[in-house]
Structure 1
Amino acid sequence: MTQTGIPFVFMRGGTSRGPYFRREDLPEDRETLAQVLVSAVGSGHALNIDGIGGGTAVTTKVAMLSKSKDNWADIDYFFAQVSVEDQLVDFKPTCGNILSGVGPAAIEMGLLEPDMDVTRIRINAVNTGARIEARIQTPEGRLIYAGETKIAGVPGQAAPIELTFMGVVGAATGAFLPTGQLRDRIDGIEVTCMDVAVPMVLARAEDFGLSGYESCQELDDNAAFFARMEAIRIAAGARMGMGDVSSSVTPKFGLLAPPSGSGSIAARYFMPWKTHPTMAVTGAQCLASCALTPGTIADGMMAPPETSPAQLVLEHPSGTIDVLVEFSAEDGFDLQAAGLVRTARKLAEGHVYVPAAIWPGFGS
């Protein structure tokens, strides 16, 4: 055999998509694993022509699932972000949109049995240590995908998947504010460095001469902005204790502006070398936390909520995303939990093939 076949389920999770594997079907060591994922996705070509990737960062994501080793959780979710062209794999971050498909994929793979009506699945995000409870629609013990829930960035309607995030503060850096400051100044730009669900560097759009309402294409075409943003992101990563982040997708970068419509605040999220076409689930939590925290770069952009939980509506390039945040403001901002509603759909299943020279498989 000149190729190795690896079973997978191909899922759309939220506004991302990619292969979902059983962790046990992949090599254990990270170096070989990375080579396998690069080959499977087709990283190294703008169209991922020699793999199953879709030519964008939101379609070159991978989920690896197993029965959890954590006493609290049912499923361990190990995420990998594969680059489109650079043949790199980043195992540091997690992805909340791909997380949306973890529950359905785990049921499809036989890693757990559905309950009647609604199946509650406790998920351990291996990369960051975050804990998430997903509520999946399983009427009469059957997994369904059809429903009436719409999310911006995905056509049509589908069954809702409710996600509640816990333990997401400081998961990557050990601190809510990794630099110890509500604001830092880097290259003349005020930023807030925050670690909630994903470590981020956040700035005001106006400080870059932007409105914050630009389309993805307008931002992606602004080479001067991206060059300055990347320099600030790298410098901030070092201040956040993350070392040299020049080849890592974290920390992410985000821009905030007052709302242009009926939302709470306008936001743009970067992956970080392209603009996210919608909004990352993890990023939405961090952006919402920044907007709610007094003294950050978001001060004055929206009226602070009077009670918890608070529903924040983030305006993004394709519409809006709602984030339900439970918090305490008695002694500064303390995030307790964040909830979102996403959808997912199974697109295909079978085997993806990689050259045996990269990995001959088990027992070879």
Structure 2
Amino acid sequence: MNDLIPIPCVMMRGGTSKGPFFLASDLPANPAARDAVLLSVMGSGHPLQIDGIGGGNPVTSKVAIVGPGSVPGADVDYLFAQVRVDQNIVDTSPNCGNMLAAVAPFAIEAGLVEPRGERTRVRIHNVNTHKMIEATLATPGGKVCYLGEARIDGVPGQAAPIALSFLDAAGARTGRLLPTGRATDVIDGIALTAIDCAMPMIILAAAELGLTGYETAAQLNADRDLLSRLEALRCKAGQAMGMGDVSDLVIPKPVLFSPPTQGGRFSVRYFMPHECHPSLATTGAVGIATAAITPDTVLARAFGVPELPATIAIEHPSGRLEVQLERRDGQVVAGIIRTARRLFEGHVFAKPNTGRHAA
């Protein structure tokens, strides 16, 4: 008899990320036991995650846990877990907007949400940040459609578009858009903006660190001195943002910006936080775009403040990502088009010493 614990699982690509999706009812309810299961199935503690299904990279070592909505107006709950690759750490402090793109199709196919005509809107409560996001996707004939003509940079080919609307994304972790109370701070002699919108981040000019801002992700990841300096800056900023010791957290995320080269508003390099993202996180894009329309931030000082509604085109290592910003009922709503794909379904196997399966 197999002594491993089988757990129903669907592997999905969401945006430019990929990872297993679980029903909340198929995982232990106790957070410590749940995290032990996730570390086991992902194979964390090894740079290749060779003993699990993780991909050995932060963008492929992510988990989505989905269940019925627990707050008024929500169709489903979505808990995101960033599972560290080479350390036995599960961080549920941030949201992930790329994995979020696959939540609605997963929820519909899992029977949590009934399709509503040719297009279905799913209201998603992100448990990590207690924020609401609307996802609208094609459901012709009452079934999820994955094939289409939408393209997103960082993913090959075409797929059906999924429209994400981030409602009231400010203060996702700290409760304040500008956690330090200032649009620009100076830490270690470097001017930066600490912002909390969809994702807590620190944004600074690449030139402040002696960079052009056009380096590849591989070049930046190989610069150990740069990564050490960014980590020190990130930890100090985390303290200033009221987040305490963030050394074991993946937030705030550092972002370096530079002038555009391909017709966008600016170019960025987004860190996760210890590696440069090969493209750009969706939640990161929402926060960066919001910083661009907030007076006196480092982005506003460098490039001015556009009037709303506005489309902020952000250049990144794999292309560009556009964020549509508008005011709705006095709040800023950010819209982004993503795509998703169901990759495989079945069971993933956890080691028996990682906690009892709560089926």
TM-score scaled to structure 1, two decimals?
Answer: 0.96
CA distance in structure 2 between the aligned counterparts of 1:46 and 1:223, rounded to whole angstroms: 17
Is the aligned partner of 1:265 residue 2:266? Answer: yes
Aligned pairs for 1:225-244 (under 5 A) are 225-244=226-245
> CA separation of 1:232/1:212 partners in 2, compared to 1, >3 Å: closer, same or farther?
same
The question of 1:166 aligning with 2:167 is answered: yes
User: What letter corresponds to residue 85 of structure 2 in structure 1?
Assistant: V
**What residue in structure 1 maps to residue 47 of structure 2?**
46
Mapped to 1, the partners of 2:187 and 2:263 lie a distance apart of 32
Provide the aligned C-alpha RMSD in A: 1.3
Quote the offset at 1:251 in angstroms.
0.8
Structure-2 change in CA distance of 1:260 and 1:230 (3 Å): same
Within 5 Å, which residues of 2 pair with 1:316-355?
A: 316-327=316-327, 336-355=332-351
Are the counterparts in 1 of residues 58 and 85 from structure 2 also a CA contact under 8 Å?
yes
Report the Cα distance in structure 1 between the residues aligned to 2:327 and 2:210, rounded to whole angstroms. 33
Match of 1:331 in 2: none
SS in 2 for 1:244: coil
Q: How big is the shift at 1:299?
A: 3.2
Query: Aligned partners of 1:327, 1:180: CA distance in 2, in Å?
Result: 22
- Aligned-pair distance for 1:129? 0.9
**1:289 is matched with which residue?**
290
Alignment-mate amino acid for residue 320 of structure 1: R
Q: Contact 1:267–1:315 (CA<8 Å) still a contact in 2?
A: yes
Q: Name structure 1 gaps, 5 residues minimum.
A: 329-333
Question: Cα deviation per residue 1:158-192 (whole Å; 9 max; x = unaligned)?
Answer: 00000000121012001111001111111111111
1:28 to partner: Cα distance = 0.9
- Indicate the SS of the match to 1:94: coil
CA deviations over 1:253-272 (Å, ceiling 9, x no partner): 11111111211111111000
The 1:335–1:256 alpha-carbon spacing in structure 2 relative to 1, beyond 3 Å, is: farther
2:277 is matched with 276
Kindly report structure 1 stretches of 4+ aligned residues shifted beyond 6 Å.
Answer: none
Give the partner amino acid of 1:211. T
- Partner residue in 1 for 2:73: 72
Deviations 1:23-70 (A, max 9, x none): 011001111111100011111111111111111000010000001011
1:147 & 1:185 partners in 2: Cα distance?
A: 46
- Give 1:134's aligned amino acid: A
For residues 9 and 22 of structure 1, the distance between their equivalents in structure 2, rounded to whole angstroms, comes to 9
8 Å contact kept, 1:3–1:355: yes
Matched to 2:220, the amino acid is L
% identity of equivalent residues = 48
Letter in 1 for 2:316: H
Separation in 2, partners of 1:362, 1:43: 22
- The CA distance in 2 between the partners of 1:221 and 1:335, in whole Å, is 40
CA–CA distance in structure 1, aligned partners of residues 4 and 226 of structure 2: 43
Helix, strand or coil at the partner of 1:301:
helix
Counterpart amino acid of residue 275 in structure 1: C
Q: CA contact under 8 A between 1:36 and 1:359: conserved in structure 2?
A: yes
Find the counterpart in structure 2 of residue 90 from structure 1. 91
In structure 2, the residue corresponding to 1:213 is in which secondary structure?
Answer: coil
Partner of 2:62: 61
Amino acid at match of 1:321: L
Q: Is the 8 A contact 1:169 1:335 kept in 2?
A: no
2:281 & 2:86 partners in 1: Cα distance? 21
CA contact (8 A) 1:4 1:359 kept: no
1:97-139 residue CA offsets vs partner (Å, 9 max, x unmatched): 0000000111121111212210100000000011100001111
Q: Distance in 2 between matches of 1:327 and 1:212?
A: 31
Contact 1:216 1:275 in 2 (8 A): yes
Matching residue of 2:310:
310
Say if 1:257 and 1:301, in contact at 8 Å, map to a contact too: no
Structure 1 counterpart of 2:11: 10
